[in-house]
């Protein structure tokens, strides 16, 4: 399916013979065949971080998504000296999850399974084609016949028409709205935020609060704009799609906790039961005004950050604490003003909130009713996007690099352990 769009009118005119002329800018889609996409998947030596997206931790390794390009592999067994050891080239990659010796990642509309048992020889072992069309059509990446729209190129068109009343002769079936191009750029850049969920298997990795992929027990769950999919990965090399559930518009994030899934959308938090993991069932919704809303959960409370200035819309910056002691009837417990919250993570009484240009903030969440006034430490001079707190180590991605801090929830101390710089293209 081609993208129908619009052009910018630069010059128009009409002479005495009723002939017309105009020039305009057209954005034409660039296609790649499915075979070209498959052939471009490979494991290479390490490359510099440029536009990092989701971060994921498992068994001493950090996997950092390079938005739209692939996944960095970081050996983090010595947290004071992390080593960038390789890069998995995956066109159209934005999400990932891992369990045991296998990593699951999207490549435009396909789900790919990688064998990661040997970090010097990571390789593709299986592919489930055509499962993520809803997510990528919203970003302007369309499946077209045997290929995918992977980019847009600007072209100047000059035309003459036949008459003044009938308009101009032109075929713009492959043009795209400039607003669509902007939306594509904003959304791919915005898929960068991210907390450590409860995992049912010690070999299951830990993702972030803005993840669209998550694994619990023997199921991989994926989320697009309005569909939740469940894959049985009992046979880890061969995911079997068990269900495709319509969950409403504007879905953004997925977080597993205590046999439930917490879905963050632009209008609220939705709770699904995993009593039947093959087909998660809806329990309840906690609504909020339109905004981006990563969700993390601990105990009887869910923590939701809302922010403005994003593709989600909205005009508020706040942390909502939601009482989920009754999962069938979640209630807003408390709201705290924030500056511009992005990703967040919680570990015990340690709550970390990435505030974008306003830095990283570390709160004491012992008393959930007073979190806003219990700021322990802040780093205002960094651009914080995404965090994973685990075992007293905070893994954080910012606009200038990947940071790791040692933190102590008892005395509130926090110290920098290591840093890997991002190098701009």
**CA 250 – CA 192 distance, rounded (Å):** 17
pLDDT at 95 (0 to 100): 94
- Top mean pLDDT of 79-88, 198-207, 287-296, 384-393 is at 79-88
β-bridge mates for residue 331, sequence order: 323
CA dist 140 and 188 (Å) reads: 11
Q: Is the predicted pLDDT of residue 75 greater than 50, yes or no? A: yes
Q: What DSSP state is assigned to residue 184?
A: H
Q: How large is the C-alpha radius of gyration of the chain?
A: 23
Q: Where are the alpha helices (DSSP H) in 175-235?
A: 178-190
- Give the pTM: 0.81
Q: Is the pLDDT of residue 27 over 90?
A: no
The pLDDT confidence band at residue 360, using thresholds 50, 70 and 90, is: very high
Residue 25 lies in a domain: no
* CA–CA dist 243, 241 (Å, integer): 6
Token pair of 82 as six digits? 């992390």
Instruction: Give the angle subtended at the CA of 109 by the CAs of 196 and 56, to the nearest 5°.
Output: 20
pLDDT digits (tens, 9 = 90+) for 182-198: 443 444 444 334 344 44
Looking up residue 327, the CATH number of its domain turns out to be 2.130.10.10
The set of residues, in sequence order, having a beta carbon less than 8 Å from that of 6 and lying 6+ positions away, is: 172, 175, 177, 178
pLDDT tens for each residue of 248-270? 877 888 999 999 999 988 888 99
Is the residue at 152 inside a domain? no
Take residue 367 and report the two structure tokens written for it. Answer: 């008393």
Domain count, the chain: 1
User: In this predicted model, which residue has the larger pLDDT, 209 or 283?
Assistant: 283
Per-residue exposure over 36-52, b if at least 16 CB sit within 10 Å of its own CB, e if not: ebeeebebeeeeebebb
d(Cα 382, Cα 7) in Å, to the nearest integer? 39
Question: What's the rounded mean pLDDT across residues 220-244?
Answer: 94
- Tokens 């409860």 locate to 198
Task: Give Cα 360 to chain centroid, integer Å.
Answer: 19
- Flag whether 177 is in a domain: no
pLDDT band at 144 (very low <50, low <70, confident <90, very high): low
Q: Which range has the worst mean pLDDT, 34-48, 157-171, 346-360?
A: 157-171
Give a yes or no: residue 175 inside a domain.
no
User: Would residue 248 count as lying in a domain?
Assistant: yes
Q: Residue 31 domain-assigned?
A: no
Q: Which domain holds residue 388?
A: 39-131+187-421
State the DSSP H helix or E strand holding residue 134, giving kind and residue range, or none if neither.
helix 133-137
Sign of torsion over alpha carbons 382, 386, 390, 395: negative
* CA distances to 86, 203, 305 from 253, in Å: 27, 22, 12
Give the pLDDT of residue 262. Answer: 96
Residue for token pair 């061969």: 238
Q: Which two tokens stand for residue 231?
A: 């894959």
Instruction: Give me the residues paired with residue 143 across strands.
Output: 148
**The predicted structure's pLDDT at residue 85:** 97
């Amino acid at each position: 399916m081609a993208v129908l769009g619009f052009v910018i009118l630069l010059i128009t005119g009409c002479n005495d013979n009723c002939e017309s002329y105009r020039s305009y800018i057209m954005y034409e889609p660039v296609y790649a065949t499915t075979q070209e996409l498959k052939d471009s998947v490979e494991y290479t030596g390490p490359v510099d971080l440029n536009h990092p997206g989701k971060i994921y931790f498992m068994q001493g390794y950090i996997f950092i998504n390079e938005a739209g390009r692939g996944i960095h592999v970081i050996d983090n067994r010595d947290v004071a000296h992390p080593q960038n050891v390789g890069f998995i080239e995956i066109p159209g990659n934005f999400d990932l999850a891992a369990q045991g010796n296998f990593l699951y990642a999207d490549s435009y509309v396909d789900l790919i399974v990688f064998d990661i048992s040997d970090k010097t020889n990571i390789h593709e072992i299986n592919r489930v084609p055509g499962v993520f069309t809803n997510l990528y059509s919203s970003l302007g990446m369309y499946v077209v016949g045997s290929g995918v729209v992977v980019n847009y190129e600007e072209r100047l068109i000059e035309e003459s028409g036949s008459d003044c009343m009938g308009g101009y002769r032109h075929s713009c079936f492959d043009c795209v709205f400039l607003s669509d191009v902007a939306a594509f750029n904003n959304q791919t850049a915005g898929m960068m935020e991210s907390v450590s969920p409860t995992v049912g298997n010690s070999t299951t990795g830990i993702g972030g609060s803005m993840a669209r992929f998550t694994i619990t027990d023997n199921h991989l769950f994926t989320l697009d704009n309005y569909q939740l999919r469940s894959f049985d990965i009992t046979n880890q090399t061969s995911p079997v799609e068990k269900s495709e559930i319509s969950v409403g518009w504007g879905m953004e994030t997925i977080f597993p906790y205590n046999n439930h899934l917490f879905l963050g959308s632009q209008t609220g938090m939705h709770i699904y039961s995993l009593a039947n993991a093959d087909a998660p069932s809806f329990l309840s919704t906690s609504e909020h005004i339109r905004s981006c809303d990563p969700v993390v959960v601990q105990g009887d409370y869910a923590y939701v950050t809302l922010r403005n200035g994003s593709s989600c819309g909205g005009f508020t910056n706040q942390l909502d604490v939601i009482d989920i002691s009754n999962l069938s009837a979640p209630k807003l417990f408390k709201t705290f003003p924030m500056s511009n919250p992005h990703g967040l993570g919680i570990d015990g009484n340690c709550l970390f909130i990435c505030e974008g240009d306003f830095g990283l903030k570390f709160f004491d969440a012992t008393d959930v009713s007073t979190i806003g006034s219990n700021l322990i430490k802040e780093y205002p001079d960094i651009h914080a996007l995404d965090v994973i707190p685990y075992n007293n180590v905070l893994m954080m991605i910012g606009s200038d690099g990947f940071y790791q801090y040692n933190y102590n929830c008892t005395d509130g101390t926090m110290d920098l352990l290591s840093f890997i710089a991002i190098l701009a293209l």
